[in-house]
C-alpha cells in the first residue's frame, strides 16, 4: 500500500531532517538510480524503501510516484543514500548511445497512463 498522496508537511519536514533542498545536483526526473546494498536494520524507513525499489535502474520520478512523495523530498533522500555509497545514479544521456531511449514526452504519457489505471 502506498502512502497518501497529500503528505502532512510536518511529516515531510521530519523525513528530511528539516532540509528543504537537495544538496546535490546529481538528480533530475529521469536520473536512473540503482541500489548498491540491501536495507539495514534501524535504517530510516524511506531510505530502506528506496533501496528496495531500486534493485534495478529506476528513474527518480518513478521512485517519487511509488513512495507517494514530492520529487524534491525524494531528491533529498537520494542525496543521503548517494553520499553514503548506498546507491549509484546516472543520467540516461550518459548511457551508451546504442541503447536509444524513448522520448521523455512519451515516458511522461506512459506515466500518466499508468497513474490513470
Contact, 63 vs 31, CB < 8 A?
no
Expressed in angstroms, the distance from the first to the final Cα of the chain is: 16
| Correct CATH for 15-94 of 3.40.190, 1.10.10, 1.25.40, 1.10.287 | 1.10.10
Q: Which pTM was predicted?
A: 0.67
> Distance between CA 41 and CA 21 in Å, rounded?
27
Which of the residues in the chain have pLDDT under 70? 1-14, 16-20, 22-23, 93-101
What is the per-residue pLDDT for 95?
Answer: 53
What is the per-residue pLDDT for 77?
Answer: 92
10 Cβ neighbours under 8 A, 6+ residues apart: none
What is the per-residue pLDDT for 110?
Answer: 84
As given in the structure block, the three cell numbers for residue 116 are 490513470
Domain segments of the chain as ranges: 15-94
Amino acid at each position: 500500500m502506498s502512502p497518501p498522496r497529500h503528505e502532512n508537511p510536518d511529516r515531510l519536514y521530519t523525513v528530511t531532517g528539516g532540509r528543504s533542498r537537495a544538496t546535490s545536483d546529481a538528480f533530475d526526473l529521469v536520473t536512473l538510480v540503482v541500489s548498491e546494498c540491501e536495507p539495514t536494520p534501524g535504517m530510516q524507513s524511506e531510505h530502506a524503501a528506496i533501496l528496495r525499489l531500486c534493485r534495478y535502474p529506476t528513474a527518480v520520478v518513478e521512485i517519487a510516484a511509488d513512495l507517494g512523495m514530492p520529487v524534491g523530498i525524494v531528491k533529498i533522500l537520494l542525496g543521503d543514500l548517494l553520499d553514503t555509497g548506498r546507491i549509484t545514479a546516472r543520467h540516461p544521456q550518459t548511457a551508451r548511445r546504442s541503447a536509444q531511449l524513448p522520448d521523455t514526452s512519451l515516458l511522461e504519457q506512459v506515466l500518466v497512463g499508468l497513474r490513470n489505471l
